[in-house]
């Protein structure tokens, strides 16, 4: 009898647990639908009356990792179909094969920009008829140079076209301070540990190139602002 009573109690407990799980599942579905409706209504209230035609090119707003303030526009994508007044299906590279449904607030028309390129005419590589045309940027006649002439100029002025910065040796500059000027010595900014090797290498290179001179102490001091650009450390000074 005891085993029978325990079996009945367990079955009732399992039945109640199943009913509770079903109740919570139904509640989650209702709340999820309520949240979608609330989000849709909020977007519809702030939407701008715009219509995108099928086949037009658009940019899509993509949220960033750090929130809405880091959002960016990616694309261009193509509008395949208008599903409603506010929802569109867009297709393009990087999207699922079936496309993506996007609200119109997260879309804007893509305008292709004109790209201008400067042309350097080389006598051996470009036909002489091309050299008689007009320049793309200035509408002035193009000037042709042979490769030999370009090599001669680069060889003659190799110091000017070098990647290493040079120093002006003809004139000497002098900074005159006001009589009531007070020295400013700003505190040092903490440099992240991962950037210290790059900052030290950049400072050593600037010393070797003669851009800066190392001093032991000074009354005037401004902290450097290291900025990582294309895996290279670029130093700027905030005055």
60 neighbors 101 (Cβ within 8 angstroms): no
What CATH number does the domain containing 189 carry?
3.10.10.10
Residue 16 lies in a domain: no
Together in a domain, 232 and 193 = yes
Domain count of the fold of the chain: 3
Give the pLDDT confidence score for residue 57 in this predicted structure. 92
Residue 128 lies in a domain: yes
Give the pLDDT confidence score for residue 80 in this predicted structure. 92
Tens of pLDDT, residue by residue, the chain (239 residues): 455 556 667 778 888 888 889 999 999 999 998 888 888 787 777 666 778 888 999 999 887 665 556 678 888 999 999 998 889 999 998 888 889 999 888 898 998 876 655 555 444 444 444 444 444 344 444 455 677 777 788 788 877 777 777 777 777 788 888 888 888 888 888 888 888 888 888 889 888 888 888 888 888 888 888 876 644 444 444 43
CA distance linking residue 205 with residue 197, whole number of Å: 12
CA distance linking residue 181 with residue 204, whole number of Å: 31
Is the full-model pTM beyond 0.85?
no
Together in a domain, 92 and 129 = no
Give the pLDDT confidence score for residue 91 in this predicted structure. 92
Tokens 């010393």: give the residue. Answer: 207
Of 152, 235, 230, the C-alpha closest to 189 is 235
Residue 21 lies in a domain: no
Residue 8 lies in a domain: no
Together in a domain, 93 and 129 = no
CA distance linking residue 108 with residue 238, whole number of Å: 38
Give the pLDDT confidence score for residue 58 in this predicted structure. 92
Give the pLDDT confidence score for residue 77 in this predicted structure. 93
Residue 45 lies in a domain: no
Give the pLDDT confidence score for residue 105 in this predicted structure. 84
Give the pLDDT confidence score for residue 47 in this predicted structure. 61
Residue 196 lies in a domain: yes
Per the structure, the complete domain to which residue 84 belongs is given by 57-109
Residue 140 lies in a domain: yes
The strand pairing partners of 88, in sequence order, are 82, 102
Give the pLDDT confidence score for residue 123 in this predicted structure. 45
Together in a domain, 105 and 124 = no
Together in a domain, 98 and 144 = no
CA distance linking residue 47 with residue 39, whole number of Å: 12
């Amino acid at each position: 009898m005891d085993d029978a009573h325990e079996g009945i109690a367990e079955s009732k407990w399992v039945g109640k647990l199943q009913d509770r799980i079903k109740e919570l599942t139904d509640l989650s579905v209702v709340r999820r639908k309520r949240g979608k409706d609330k989000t849709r209504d909020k977007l519809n209230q702030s939407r701008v009356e715009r219509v995108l035609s099928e086949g037009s090119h658009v940019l899509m707003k993509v949220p960033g990792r750090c929130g809405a303030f880091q959002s960016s526009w990616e694309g261009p994508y193509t509008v395949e179909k208008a599903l409603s007044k506010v929802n569109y299906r867009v297709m393009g590279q990087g999207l699922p094969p079936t496309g993506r449904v996007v609200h119109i607030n997260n879309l804007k028309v893509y305008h292709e920009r004109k790209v201008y390129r400067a042309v350097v005419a080389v006598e051996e590589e470009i036909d002489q008829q091309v050299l008689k045309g007009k320049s793309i940027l200035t509408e002035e006649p193009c000037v042709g140079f042979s490769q030999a002439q370009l090599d001669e100029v680069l060889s003659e002025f190799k110091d000017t076209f070098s990647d290493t910065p040079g120093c002006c040796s003809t004139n000497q500059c002098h900074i005159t301070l006001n009589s009531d000027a007070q020295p400013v010595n700003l505190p040092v900014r903490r440099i992240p540990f991962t950037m210290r090797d790059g900052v030290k290498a950049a400072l050593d290179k600037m010393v070797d190139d003669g851009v800066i001179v190392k001093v032991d102490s000074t009354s005037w001091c401004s902290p450097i602002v290291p900025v990582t650009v294309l895996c290279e450390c670029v130093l700027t000074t905030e005055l």
